[in-house]
Amino acid sequence: MLFDTHAHYDDEAFDADRELLLATLPERNVGLIVNPGCTIDTSRQAVALAEQYEYVYAAVGIHPENCGDFTDSDIDTLRALAQHEKVVAIGEIGLDYYWAENPSREWQQRVLRAQMALAEELHLPVIIHDRDAHADTLSIVKEFPQVRGVFHCYSGSVEDARTLLKMGWMLSFNGAITFKNARKAPEVIVEIPMDRMMIETDSPYLTPVPYRGKRNDSGYVSLVAEKIAEIKGISPEEVERITFENGKRFFAIP
């Protein structure tokens, strides 16, 4: 069975067929899913989905793109949501310097630190989003040595990957590694041990080749496993088995 460690089924792209799609994922060999929230509202929806489907778990957090009107009371709301037994992480949180219209860098950093502190307090791992903000993201996570986490859709250098591995962190990869212009990620995948890697789709985005451009869903995480198998020179079944175990261990899923 495959573990899709990052998918957004609260997204409106799934409004027309969410229930049908989620119900049929086990038949498509998907055994576990983590659905991270990106706002207070989608964090609540992630928890609701986790309540509805045995194989769906939730993470709660505020994404850097959505952190413009963050207030300290949001931390109290996230803390309360995180009490739910199926909330396994704080995420997705991080820094995104790609979009010019995003909240200021200083504000994003403040919101990230507040959520890292919450993860430390609750002894929960974090799911990190880092887009064009490698140096600042790494330096902030280093301020919280008690917190471990995963860089989802890892896009940093081999050197930063080694630093994160030494800190006990995980790296996660998705359909972006199948794209023609993917160069850095395969170099990183060659370097890092299998027991530190997870796979994901980031559904509904980043659909792997040959379905690029279509809506993504967890069934396509098999194509990510196949690509990693090709890069590592092992079988897709081995990638599937190891990443499933890695995900269960990382998120402490029984």
For the bound state, the minimum distance from the C-beta of residue 62 to Ni ion, rounded and expressed in Å, comes to: 12
For the bound state, the minimum distance from the C-beta of residue 8 to Ni ion, rounded and expressed in Å, comes to: 6
Q: Which residues contact 109 (CB under 8 A, 6 or more apart)?
A: 95, 136, 140
For the bound state, the minimum distance from the C-beta of residue 166 to Ni ion, rounded and expressed in Å, comes to: 25
> In one letter, which amino acid is 227?
K
Smaller CB separation from Ni ion, 160 or 202: 202
The gap from C-alpha 104 to its chain's centroid, in whole angstroms, comes to: 23
x/- binding map, residues 4-43, to Ni ion, per CB under 5 A? ----------------------------------------
Smaller CB separation from Ni ion, 141 or 150: 150
Residue in 51, 54, 49, 53 with CA at minimum distance from that of residue 35? 49
Residue 182 three-state SS? coil
Smaller CB separation from Ni ion, 39 or 232: 39
Q: Which stretch binds Ni ion (CB under 5 A): 139-147, 161-169, 183-191, 202-210?
A: 202-210
Q: Which stretch binds Ni ion (CB under 5 A): 96-104, 115-123, 200-208, 239-247?
A: 200-208
- The span from the CA of 152 to the CA of 43, in Å, is 17
Q: Which region, left, alpha or beta, applies to residue 226 given φ > 0 means left and ψ of -120 to 50 means alpha?
A: alpha
Residue in 42, 44, 56, 59 with CA at minimum distance from that of residue 3? 56
- The span from the CA of 184 to the CA of 114, in Å, is 30
x/- binding map, residues 158-197, to Ni ion, per CB under 5 A? ----------------------------------------
Smaller CB separation from Ni ion, 131 or 241: 131
What is the binding site for Ni ion (CB under 5 A)? 202
